[in-house]
Structure 1
């Protein structure tokens, strides 16, 4: 079996740390040996389904120990994992099922009803025993006790994660087993992770940042403490009771924990065991950093910038976080970053250009999306005026990120904007087109609709919807309808009625969003 796969990490951890606690969730915990046994039982069952190699298997469930078992079980087969965040509505799940042809879904009792709404005709596997015709982990743990052996190729596809692309429909990015190992290795290196660390599993396991916490824990034989963020009080208890030392967050999580001010936060000495905080998935403000520093006084704060097409590009060293809080930092190990202008020349100091990612951690590409791949995955030849390509024997792929940035005099990078008009909110990318399409399809009273983002320090961007109609519609009525079709993070925070919307001069069928943004910003 390849050394460049998560299965190899799991087997190695069991050989040396079988009795060590691998996972903690509330009052429950399991050792590496127990985790390995459960993973083998579920993987054995999955292989008995006798599905073709590279069959896509989805996980659509709430967080818990069994969800991690499911992730590792799929990665112990030659199938491909497709995480489906629990926040997706049934019709969004149905889109992803059809897009990558999912043949099996692993779920829990709460999400089973949502799957039944979409008439999924593939295999269904539930954590709990629910009905005779649906197999469960509980039954598998009782009856599947045969030895399980597998042979995983590190170059094979491992995961397809879905985010929202420029066309408004989700685009799946394909990640190999080798990608997963490389990302665990580099994060463990620059964060100085150790065997005795307790890593918080606060993030949802739908994208690479969240999933990476599982793999880093395996890589270092650390403990992963799972948590579902509901209330700040519960979150702080999680940090204290689980003795968390490494805390991966998104900026929206920082806003949530400090939203009621500092008066309800426990004494800072209760968090002195916390040594590392990481943040990715959005811009970090100076206030967020200050709040974290005041509460988690021994913790180094790492601000990071990742891509859809590659695991990560930059991180800001903790020594620089308070000096230049707006910076996204410098390249992570094994990555070269360049800022180029429209002519392909390297940009000067403080000149804005497109960020080009060269080197490690580049993913395989978008699933069944040749146009998207052509837009983002480019020949290294686009850097011919920046680096010396003499003697290159084979072509090399780099990522044209679509992120527009600039460098300061010391080489630190600063994010300016996206090439497209994606909205970045609460750590998620939201396509205005998808929200507008749902409005057009389901609220016929609305004549025209424009959805866009406006800067909001707490959540990075607030989703704004401006619409025209013969008469004003209740905002509650609009939100009620949108919630039937969209994930919660995609619901507009502000809904504004206008009798008519400004149009683009060159295209009278297109709403002038820039004019609307200027008007709202000015007011």
Structure 2
């Protein structure tokens, strides 16, 4: 497969715009020249540890300028970057590290004892390593022995996704697929050299990792704000002059709430880009009201292909129920249960094909065979998403729901998404999550709201057919969230277990 390597993106940026601001965190800022020098210093350190092509390097550290340099430096020596969320606990770390089989592990003082218990590879405390990571002077060129033959189809990253089970599941991300997806997204979203992208997501999630590369492609600046105080969010957005904000619904709700109470100048945001879950129309409207002139761009994707569709920013008010068009050079198919294409307007499984489709799941042939297939006619890779939707005459995709979201209840086929959307339409509801009927409980809805459960159900009966109105409604002061800011559905389901609801 033709393509580029991850570190070649930084090479080009450092050569063309060496003094442009590249990356900022709570402790400081680097230009592209400085980021490149730090990446090369880390590559030299890795070589000194005997790390080379194909070796897995597990890194469990907060997202920072330093972590971004490690990402590029790992790529430069041909090794595989395996970023883990600092909040990941020993129970999951044991299975993830066992699955990845790293040759080296990097962490901080709090994480070192746990990782030394679960890893047979050397575990380094970043505080001990940091003195060796200082850039060597101003020279950013490759010295003797510093050029590694890295091919675009080599494995670059393993991204461990949160699945429905405790078993580890890592998406295999080669250089070519990652760089293609990031270049295509940068083009479609129209990132500009003068943009400042404010990223609140960890690099252990492909949403955050991809933003580091996209800003490099665009020669603009990224602000890594994962882990910073929520109370300082708007102040940091103002200080950094943010123009682009990647969001998920929970972050969007927080921004709207904070903006409603804030009396300072409005940050100069020109675009919000959403993923993770559908953004309620009420939240979209509130963002547009608080940030006059800002586009709110809907996207659909999975780690297995980075991103699949994007609503063109200039058309963010068109086709309000759509999640956009396929990335340039890719296609979206809608297939029936037999794998045959369905006509326009009919609901079927969403299947993606193109250079952005990843290479499967690491050491997981069963799940790989289920999701990653080949088109029997063309031989092209196909990603069977397990999600359902339909296409209109102009090629726009409409997301209907995930396989687990769709169910039949009281003779009606329905989706948790439509119930959640109706709940979010109720004034005073800040978050909503519906759960299909299960063992010991009926159709259930959780909301974060100042309303009581009876008020919520009453309002829902005005918006939904009676069979779609939940029989159980719980009001929470605060929603449990996953590490990536999505609703923690397993924790919500546990609240219902055994209560006879």
Q: Identify the TM-score tier after normalising by the shorter chain.
A: 0.7 to 0.9
Matched with 1:346 is 341
Partner of 1:181: 179
Assess, with a 3 A threshold, how the Cα gap between structure 1 residues 357 and 486 changes in structure 2: closer, same or farther: closer
Distance 1:258 1:127, change over 3 A: same
Report the alpha carbon displacement of residue 114 of structure 1 after superposing the two structures with TM. 3.7
Residue in 2 that maps onto 1:441 = none
TM superposition shift of 1:36? 1.6
Between the aligned partners of 2:100 and 2:190, the Cα distance in structure 1 is 37
Tell me if 1:270 matches 2:266: yes
**Superposition RMSD in Å:** 3.2
* Structure 1 stretch displaced more, 329-338 or 319-328: 319-328
Native 8 Å contact 1:156 1:176 kept in 2: yes
State the alpha-carbon separation in 1 of the partners of residues 136 and 212 from structure 2. 27
2:289 to 290, 294, 297: 294
Q: What is the rounded CA distance, in whole Å, between the counterparts of 2:231 and 2:286 in structure 1?
A: 16
Counterpart position of 2:130: 137
Distance 1:320 1:34, change over 3 A: closer
- Structure 1, unaligned runs of 5 or more: 130-135, 382-388, 423-451, 469-482, 501-519
Instruction: State the partner residue of 1:196.
Output: 194
Aligned mates of 1:89, 1:192 — CA distance in 2: 38
1:321 Cα deviation from its structure 2 partner: 3.7
Partner secondary structure for residue 95 of structure 1:
helix
Find out whether 1:405 has 2:389 as its counterpart.
yes
Matches of 2:497 and 2:369 in 1, distance apart?
A: 39
In structure 1, distance between residues paired with 2:135 and 2:306: 38
Q: What does residue 236 of structure 1 align with?
A: 234
Q: CA deviation at 1:49?
A: 1.6
* Residue aligning to 2:64: 64
The match for 2:400 is: 416
Contact 2:58 2:105 survives alignment (8 Å): yes
Normalization by structure 2: what TM-score?
Answer: 0.78
**DSSP 3-state at the match of 1:71:** helix
Q: 1:363 is matched with which residue?
A: 358
| CA distance, structure 1, for counterparts of residue 130 and residue 255 of structure 2 | 34
Aligned-partner Cα distance in 1 for 2:152–2:77:
12
Does 1:50 find its partner at 2:56? no
Distance 1:198 1:313, change over 3 A: same
Distance 1:462 1:13, change over 3 A: same
Match of 2:217 among 216, 219, 226: 219
CA-CA distance at 1:306 after TM superposition: 0.7
Comparing 491-500 with 85-94, which one deviates more in the overlay? 491-500
Change (3 A) 1:360 1:140: closer
Judged with a 3 Å threshold, the aligned counterparts in structure 2 of structure 1 residues 331 and 295 are, in CA distance, closer, same or farther, namely: same
Q: What is the rounded CA distance, in whole Å, between the counterparts of 2:280 and 2:201 in structure 1?
A: 20
Could you tell me how far 1:379 is from its partner in structure 2? 2.3
Residues 161-172 of structure 1 aligned to structure 2 (within 5 Å): 161-165=159-163, 168-172=166-170
> How far does residue 466 in structure 1 lie from its aligned partner after superposition?
8.3
- Aligned residue in 2 for 1:9: 9
The answer to whether the 8 Å contact 2:92/2:166 transfers is: no
Distance 1:167 1:127, change over 3 A: closer
2:47 paired with 1:75: no
1:204-262 CA-to-partner distances (Å, cap 9, x unmatched) read 111322111111121122111111255444111121111112211222211222346x5
Quickly say closer, same or farther: Cα 1:140–1:356, change in 2 above 3 A. closer
Give the TM-score taking structure 1 as reference length.
Answer: 0.75
**Alignment correspondent of 1:435:** none
Cα distance between partner residues in 2 of 1:312 and 1:142: 34
Partner of 2:304, secondary structure, is coil
Residue pair 2:298, 2:310 contacting (<8 A) in 1 also: yes
Q: 1:282 aligns with which of 267, 277, 284?
A: 277
d(CA) in 2 for partners of 1:323 and 1:266?
A: 32
Contact 2:332 2:353 in 1 (8 A): yes
Q: In 2, distance between residues paired with 1:276 and 1:168?
A: 36
Distance 1:193 1:497, change over 3 A: closer
Following the alignment from structure 2 to structure 1, what is the Cα–Cα distance between the partners of residues 293 and 105?
A: 42
| Number of residue pairs aligned between Structure 1 and Structure 2 | 436
Offset at residue 342 of structure 1 (A): 2.1
SS of the equivalent of 2:234 reads helix
The answer as to whether partners of 1:78 and 1:152 remain within 8 angstroms in 2 is yes
Q: Which residue matches 2:496? A: 496
2:271 & 2:255 partners in 1: Cα distance? 17
Which blocks of at least 5 consecutive residues in structure 2 are unaligned? 407-415, 425-429, 441-479
Match of 1:334 among 329, 333, 340: 329
**1:98 counterpart residue number:** 98
Asked if structure 2 preserves the Cα contact closer than 8 Å seen for 1:179 and 1:363, the reply is: yes
Shift of 1:152: 2.1
Aligned counterpart, 1:426? none
SS at match of 1:404: strand
Indicate the SS of the match to 1:258.
helix
Q: Quick check: 1:314–1:329 contact (8 Å CA) kept in 2?
A: yes
Q: CA separation in 2, counterparts of 1:143 and 1:320?
A: 47
Contact 1:125 1:137 in 2 (8 A): no
CA distance in 1, matches of 2:48, 2:132: 15
* Residues in 2 aligned to 1:10 and 1:52: alpha-carbon distance in whole angstroms: 19
Equivalent residue, structure 1, for 2:147: 149
User: Does the CA-based 8 Å contact 1:462-1:493 persist in structure 2?
Assistant: no
Q: 2:497, 2:176 → 1: CA distance?
A: 50
* 1:246 counterpart residue number: 244
